[in-house]
Structure 1
Amino acid sequence: MKETRTPATPSAPPRARRPGGRSARVRTAVLQAATELIAERGYGTFSVAEVAARAGVADSSIYRRWGTLEALLMDAVVSRLTEHSPMPDTGSLDGDLRSFAAKVAEDVTGPDGLALLRTVVTALATGPDGESARDRFLAIRSEQLQGMLERARARGEDAPDVLEVLDGILAPIYVRVLFGVVPLAPDYIDDLVDHMLARRPG
């Protein structure tokens, strides 16, 4: 008797792994939960278990990725203050600086801005995680600003250096928010940019 072979069903191609995937979703959920708890309660008033419960993940996932609650909180702060404020590209240095300053002011006077800034200040006084977060924040912000300023120079504009922008725009905004000198009026933000540009030669 001749054997009849049933054609094999082609196997489905392996499913492509989506960029980031579950790991990225977990990170986003955990950082969001941590940011919310910082805004609601302040630094040092909740546990990893509470972050995990709000994010819908296991405690072990947080410890495996961040190691400590302090390291997680610093990651949340740095991410919130940098990733949510992309550098503008308006076509002119003046426009870029004014857009950047206005967005920074909006971010730090928002619902969680003050709590996040206070978290950084508190963490700096309590251990290396705060210092690491500060260094990471400055590195990310400096790299972002450098790109914006290099675009201005490529257009032939006389752009300041990164430290001038940090001193002239970021520092006074952060200090005013930390000391409660708010709201930050649009005229004040424009004045910061005017004063910095007025110090440029020529």
Structure 2
Amino acid sequence: MPTEPLAKRPGGRSARVQAAVYQALTDLAGERDVTRLTIPAVAERAGVNPTTIYRRWGTLQALLAEVAVARGTDAPPSSSGDLRTDLEAYAVRTLADLTRPGGIAFFRAEVSPDIDERRSGLRECLQRATAGLDMVLEASRGRGETPPPAERLLDQIVAPLYFRVVFSVPDTDEAYARALVADLFSGTWHSAVELH
């Protein structure tokens, strides 16, 4: 008598393993230097065999990159109605994302040429950065303002934050992030724009 195939559970074991591995890596990244992490340590924390991780992700860098994409960034707050305030919130949020446990290691893994041959990690990072900016700029334009172009904000706010975090430049804190926005508003851009 033929037996009926077993129905697959939604998500199933594969989804549970992935969630456990993601959580283990994120937790360990908050507890120790990511450069000292190993696949066996992640496997032990996740309660899986190391071969499961090697088979599915291959390397720790590949796993870090996948978790980086899955982590994304927190949803931006709604517009305050003031461009400067919104840009400050964006800058502080970007810095917080980079400096949270493992943040820069996740970023480095995501854009590593060793695992990102088509450079999709770089594109995804840029898309996440510009998505937050686009929301701020759209709200500003909706109020009838003429905000600076996104490229200028990337150059004057985003790039310095990434640079300073990647190279561990001291005093890269919320005050510095807010100062980047202040510098933008004190520069030549605002001369042709009505600001609050």
Normalization by structure 2: what TM-score? 0.69
Q: Following the alignment from structure 2 to structure 1, what is the Cα–Cα distance between the partners of residues 87 and 166? A: 22
% same residue: 38
Q: Does 1:42 align with 2:34?
A: yes
Q: Alignment partner for residue 101 of structure 1, among 91, 106, 116?
A: 91
Q: Alignment partner for residue 89 of structure 1, among 78, 91, 111?
A: 78
Change over 3 Å in CA distance of 1:109–1:69 after alignment to 2 = closer
Q: Alignment partner for residue 166 of structure 1, among 140, 154, 163?
A: 154
Structure 2 residue ranges without an equivalent (≥5): 1-8
Aligned residues: 180
RMSD across aligned positions (CA): 3.4
Task: After superposition, give the CA deviation of every residue in 1:14-49 in whole Å (9 maximum; x if it has no partner).
Answer: xxx98x7877665443223223445524348522x5
Task: After superposition, give the CA deviation of every residue in 1:64-103 in whole Å (9 maximum; x if it has no partner).
Answer: 76565433211222344x33x3222232221111111112
CA contact (8 A) 2:110 2:116 kept: no
Q: Does 1:188 align with 2:176?
A: yes
Q: Following the alignment from structure 2 to structure 1, what is the Cα–Cα distance between the partners of residues 149 and 53? A: 38
Q: How many angstroms does 1:55 deviate by?
A: 2.4
Change over 3 Å in CA distance of 1:161–1:78 after alignment to 2 = farther
Q: Following the alignment from structure 1 to structure 2, what is the Cα–Cα distance between the partners of residues 95 and 135? A: 27
Q: Following the alignment from structure 1 to structure 2, what is the Cα–Cα distance between the partners of residues 31 and 161? A: 36
1:190 aligned partner, one-letter code: R
Greater gyration radius: 1
Q: Following the alignment from structure 1 to structure 2, what is the Cα–Cα distance between the partners of residues 27 and 177? A: 29
CA contact (8 A) 2:95 2:173 kept: no
Change over 3 Å in CA distance of 1:109–1:67 after alignment to 2 = closer
The residue that corresponds to 1:112 in the other structure is: 102
Q: Following the alignment from structure 1 to structure 2, what is the Cα–Cα distance between the partners of residues 148 and 61? A: 42
